[in-house]
Chain A
Amino acid sequence: MREIAVVAFAQTRHSATDQGQSEPELILPPLEEVREKTGLRTFGFTCSGSCDYLAGAPFSFVSALDALGAWPPISESHVEMDAAWALYEAWVRLQHGDVDSALVYGFGKSSQGDLREIMTLQLDPYYLAPLGLDQVSYAALQASAAKVDRARLDEIVRRSRADGRANPYALDLPDPGGDAFEVEPLRPYDIAPVTDGAAAVVLAAGDLARELCERPAWITGIAHRIEPHYLGMRDLARSASAAEAARAAGAGKGHVDVAELHTQFSHEEPILRQALELPESTIVNPSGGPLAANPVMATGLIRVGEAAQRILDGVAGRTVGHASSGPCLQHNLVTVMEA
C-alpha cells in the first residue's frame, strides 16, 4: 500500500447550543486552518461526511461547497456517514497513485433537532422504528448487556469531562452527579452531549507528506466492518466488528500509546477497549472524547484527527483513531497511525 499520512487537523471550538452559524459558516474556519497549516490551496481529492437529517433538509452537504470555494471545479465526493468514512474513501483514492493530497471534512449541528428521536429513523423502518425505541433506549440495552459497574462508568465520565475542560475545543461540562436514570442503567451524563461543530483533515502521500510536516502521522492500517442491524442477532456485550476492523488494521501489531474512541455512551469505552485489545497503559480519549464534545458526523473524524495530532505534536509514537456508526456500535472503523 502507498504511504499516506495525516499532515494537518483542525476543528471548531464546539458548542452545546446553536451559535447562529450555518453549516458552511461552521466548516469554513477549520478548512482555512488546515490550508494554512499545509500551505495547500488545492487538493487532488476532497471528501466529506454529513447527514441531511440533522439539518432536516435534503443536500445539507451542497452548501459546504460554497464554503470550500470549489472553483475551478474539484474532484469531490460525499458520504452520508461520519466523516471518518470520508477519510477512508480519500485514503483509498490516494492509493491510485495519480494524486498526492486529499482534503476531508465533516460537520453537524445536532442542536437543531432532537438527536435522540432523529436517530430512531436509522432503524429498520418496518420492524424496528415503529417500536419507538430511541437512541438512548437501545444504547441502554447494550449497557445492560455489557454489565459495566456504575463506579467504572462514573470514572469514565469524570475523566472524559475533566479532559474535555482541559481541551479548548471541547465543551466545559461539570463533574457528573445525580442519581436519576435517563434510561436505566444509563444516567444523563453517560450520554454524549448535543454539540455543534466541524473538523477538517489533510492527507498526503509519501514525499509530499514529509515536505508538508515534520512528523506526519502515517496511516499504517485502516479498516472498517459492519455487522447485522438487528440487535437480537448480535452479542451486545461485545463489538465483533470493531475487533475485526482492529485486526484488519493491525492495531495489535505494536503498543498503542493513545486511542481516541468514538464512545457516544460511557459503557461503549470498555466494550471498545476489549474489542481493540487495548492494554491498561493505552491512554483513552485524552481529548475528552465524544462524552465531552459530540458534533455528530464530525465526531469520528475528530477521533482520527486527535489521535493523529498526538503524533504530529511528538507526544505519541503510535495511536489509534476509532469511529462508529449505526445503533449499538453496528459499524466500526479503526485507523492506526505511527510516527
Chain B
Amino acid sequence: MGNPCAVIGIGQTHYTTKRRDVSIAGLVREAALRALQDAGLTWKDIDAVVIGKAPDLFEGVMMPEAYLADALGAAGKPMMRVHTAGSVGGSTALVGASLIQGGVHDRVLVVAFEKQSESNATWALSTHLPFSASLVVGAGGYFAPHIREYIRRSGAPEHIGHLVAVKDRRNALKNPYAHLRIPGIDRKMVESTPMLWEPIRYLDTCPSSDGACAMVLAAGDKLTASTPAWVLGTAMRSEPIFRAGRDTVNPQGGKDCAADVYRQAGITDPRREIDVAEVYVPFSWYEPMWLENLGFAAEGEGWKLTESGATALDGDIPWNASGGVLSSNPIGASGLIRFAEAALQVRGMAGEHQVDGARRALGHAYGGGAQFFAMWMVGSDRP
C-alpha cells in the first residue's frame, strides 16, 4: 500500500438539477476552494491535481482537464484526468492517493464533477459504435434486467427497493448538500411514481445532478487537519463486459475488490467491523445486491438486511447516511462523494447524518456494465 496517506480536506457543492450561475470551471473551483479551506491550505501548497469525470460527451468538452487547469490552480504542476466509467470518482481518489502512497507527492488535490444540465446523460449513454447497435436506453435500461434476475434468484419481495428509496431520501434530509430533498417521503409515494424500467420506478432511481466534489490528500507526515481520515486500504478491479459466463448480478470484480481492500485494512467481518458504508447505489435495488457482493450478507440474504432496518441511519450498519447516489448524482463525482462521505464520517464531521463513533468506513463506486470497481477503507486511527 506504500506510504501513509490521509484525507485532510473535503469540499462539496450543493447538488442540484441545474447550476446556471456557474461555468464548469466555476463549479469545480467552488468544490476545490472548499476542500483547501477545510485543509487550511492554499493553491500553492498543492503538488498535483487529479481530475475525474464520466464520459466527455456529458458536457461536450473533450478532455476538459486542459481547459480546467487554470481554474484548479494546476498551471506549472502535474495534472491527470481519470475516466473509468461510473466508478471514476472513486478511481480519481485512488489515483490521487497512489501519488502519495508511491512517494511522488506530499499533497494532492483530487476533484470530480459532472454538469449534467449541459446535456442529456441518458442519450449520451445511448450512442453506440457502428455494428454494435443496442436497444438499451440509458443506465436504467441496462441494469433493470440484472435487478430482475436478482429478485428471481433471491426471492426478494417487491417492496425492498422502495424501502431503500425511502431510507436514502430520509437520510438526504439531514445532508445540506443533497439534491433530492423530499419531506414526508414514504413507500406509498415511491409506489405511486411511474414505472421507468421494470421494476425500477421513478423514485427508485437517481437524479441527474450538477455538482463537484474535491479532496485534499496528504502524506502521513504532511497533515494540517487535526482530524484526518487515514486511508486503510485501496483497490480497483475491472472485468470484461462481454465475457460469457460473467455474473453481472454478483460480479466477481466487486467481490475481489472488496476482498483486497478488506485484507489491507484487516477487516474479516465487514458487517461487524465497518461502522458505516457509502456505497454506489444508483437504483434502489442495488443496496441488497451490493450488501451481498461486498460481503455484508450471504448470497440471497441482502434484502433481509435491508428489510430489517440494519442499513438505516440508526441501524447497526448504516449504508449511505448521506442519502447516497439516490439523492445526489453528478455522475462523474458520485464515486468521489462516496469516498469523501466515508472520510467525513471517520473524521466525525458529517453533521446531522453523522454515525456516532464511526471509526472505520467503506467508500465504494462501480461503473460500466457493473464491471469497474473502486473502493477504499478509511479510518480515524493511523494504520
A and B: partners?
A: yes
Q: Which residues of A come within 8 Å of B, CB atoms? A: 1, 22, 46, 51-53, 55-63, 65-66, 68-81, 85, 88-89, 92-98, 118-119, 121-126, 128-129, 223-230, 233, 240-241, 244, 325-327, 330-331
CB-contacts of B49-67 with A (<8 A): 54-57, 59-67
Residue B14 is within 8 A (CB to CB) of chain A in the complex = no
Q: Which residues of B come within 8 Å of A, CB atoms? A: 1-2, 23-25, 54-57, 59-70, 74-85, 91, 94-95, 98-99, 101-104, 124-125, 127-129, 131, 235-243, 246, 251-253, 256-257, 260, 368-369, 371-373
Which residue from A60, A65, A122, A227 sits with its C-beta under 8 Å from B67? A122
- Do B69 and A330 touch across chains, with their CB atoms under 8 A apart? yes
Instruction: Answer whether A75 and B235 are a contact pair too, CB < 8 Å, given A66-B242, A92-B102, A325-B66.
Output: yes
Instruction: Answer whether A122 and B91 are a contact pair too, CB < 8 Å, given A73-B256, A229-B66.
Output: no
- Do B238 and A73 touch across chains, with their CB atoms under 8 A apart? yes
- Do A77 and B236 touch across chains, with their CB atoms under 8 A apart? yes
- Expressed in whole angstroms, the Cα–Cα distance for A335 and B9 within the complex equals 32
Beyond A22-B129, A122-B63, 18 additional pairs, beta carbon < 8 A: A52-B57, A56-B129, A62-B368, A71-B246, A72-B252, A73-B238, A73-B256, A76-B236, A76-B372, A77-B84, A79-B82, A80-B82, A95-B104, A121-B61, A122-B66, A226-B75, A226-B78, A229-B66
- Do B63 and A80 touch across chains, with their CB atoms under 8 A apart? yes
- Expressed in whole angstroms, the Cα–Cα distance for A123 and B111 within the complex equals 19
- Do B62 and A96 touch across chains, with their CB atoms under 8 A apart? no
The interface residues of chain A lying within 8 Å CB-to-CB of B371 are 62, 65
B91 closest partner in A (C-beta): A77
CB distance from A248 to the nearest CB of B (A): 9
CB distance from B208 to the nearest CB of A (A): 15
The interface residues of chain A lying within 8 Å CB-to-CB of B84 are 77-78
Instruction: Answer whether A58 and B124 are a contact pair too, CB < 8 Å, given A73-B253, A98-B1.
Output: yes
Instruction: Answer whether A80 and B81 are a contact pair too, CB < 8 Å, given A95-B102, A122-B66.
Output: yes
Which residue from A55, A119, A229 sits with its C-beta under 8 Å from B129? A55
The interface residues of chain A lying within 8 Å CB-to-CB of B69 are 226-229, 326, 330-331
- Expressed in whole angstroms, the Cα–Cα distance for A70 and B243 within the complex equals 9
Question: Can you list the 6 inter-chain pairs with the closest CB atoms, starting with the nearest?
Answer: A95-B102, A58-B55, A73-B253, A96-B2, A326-B66, A80-B83
Instruction: Answer whether A81 and B80 are a contact pair too, CB < 8 Å, given A65-B239, A122-B66, A226-B75.
Output: yes
The interface residues of chain A lying within 8 Å CB-to-CB of B253 are 73
Instruction: Answer whether A225 and B76 are a contact pair too, CB < 8 Å, given A62-B85, A77-B236.
Output: yes
- Do A125 and B67 touch across chains, with their CB atoms under 8 A apart? yes
The interface residues of chain B lying within 8 Å CB-to-CB of A62 are 85, 241, 368-369, 371
Question: Could you list 11 A-B pairs, sorted by A, with CB under 8 Å?
Answer: A56-B127, A65-B239, A66-B240, A69-B240, A93-B98, A96-B2, A123-B66, A226-B77, A227-B75, A229-B70, A331-B66
CB distance from B375 to the nearest CB of A (A): 12
CB distance from B68 to the nearest CB of A (A): 8
B252 closest partner in A (C-beta): A73
The interface residues of chain A lying within 8 Å CB-to-CB of B62 are 51-53, 118-119, 121-122
Which of A46, A65, A77 has the largest count of B CB atoms less than 10 A from its CB? A77
CB distance from A56 to the nearest CB of B (A): 7
- Do B368 and A59 touch across chains, with their CB atoms under 8 A apart? yes
Instruction: Answer whether A66 and B235 are a contact pair too, CB < 8 Å, given A77-B91, A78-B84.
Output: no
- Do B238 and A89 touch across chains, with their CB atoms under 8 A apart? no
- Expressed in whole angstroms, the Cα–Cα distance for A182 and B369 within the complex equals 43
- Do A65 and B55 touch across chains, with their CB atoms under 8 A apart? no
- Do B102 and A53 touch across chains, with their CB atoms under 8 A apart? no
The interface residues of chain A lying within 8 Å CB-to-CB of B373 are 73
- Do B1 and A74 touch across chains, with their CB atoms under 8 A apart? no
Which residue from A51, A68, A224 sits with its C-beta under 8 Å from B240? A68
Which residue from A79, A92, A119, A244 sits with its C-beta under 8 Å from B81? A79
Which of A72, A74, A124, A128 has the largest count of B CB atoms less than 10 A from its CB? A124
- Do B125 and A58 touch across chains, with their CB atoms under 8 A apart? yes
A88 closest partner in B (C-beta): B80
- Do B76 and A97 touch across chains, with their CB atoms under 8 A apart? no
- Do A79 and B80 touch across chains, with their CB atoms under 8 A apart? yes
- Do A65 and B61 touch across chains, with their CB atoms under 8 A apart? no
- Do B2 and A73 touch across chains, with their CB atoms under 8 A apart? no
Which residue from B60, B101, B242 sits with its C-beta under 8 Å from A63? B242
- Expressed in whole angstroms, the Cα–Cα distance for A118 and B62 within the complex equals 8
A230 closest partner in B (C-beta): B70
CB distance from A264 to the nearest CB of B (A): 14
- Do A97 and B240 touch across chains, with their CB atoms under 8 A apart? no
- Expressed in whole angstroms, the Cα–Cα distance for A300 and B310 within the complex equals 51
- Do B63 and A92 touch across chains, with their CB atoms under 8 A apart? no
- Do B128 and A57 touch across chains, with their CB atoms under 8 A apart? yes
- Do B102 and A229 touch across chains, with their CB atoms under 8 A apart? no
- Expressed in whole angstroms, the Cα–Cα distance for A95 and B82 within the complex equals 19
- Do A89 and B98 touch across chains, with their CB atoms under 8 A apart? yes
The interface residues of chain B lying within 8 Å CB-to-CB of A240 are 76
The interface residues of chain A lying within 8 Å CB-to-CB of B95 are 77, 89
Which of A58, A81, A129, A230 has the largest count of B CB atoms less than 10 A from its CB? A58
The interface residues of chain B lying within 8 Å CB-to-CB of A75 are 235-238, 260
Which of B91, B99, B238 has the largest count of A CB atoms less than 10 A from its CB? B238
Which residue from A70, A119, A224 sits with its C-beta under 8 Å from B239? A70
- Do B76 and A81 touch across chains, with their CB atoms under 8 A apart? no
- Do B66 and A74 touch across chains, with their CB atoms under 8 A apart? no
CB distance from A106 to the nearest CB of B (A): 13
- Do B67 and A124 touch across chains, with their CB atoms under 8 A apart? yes
- Do B76 and A241 touch across chains, with their CB atoms under 8 A apart? yes
- Do A226 and B74 touch across chains, with their CB atoms under 8 A apart? yes
- Do A1 and B66 touch across chains, with their CB atoms under 8 A apart? no
The interface residues of chain A lying within 8 Å CB-to-CB of B99 are 92
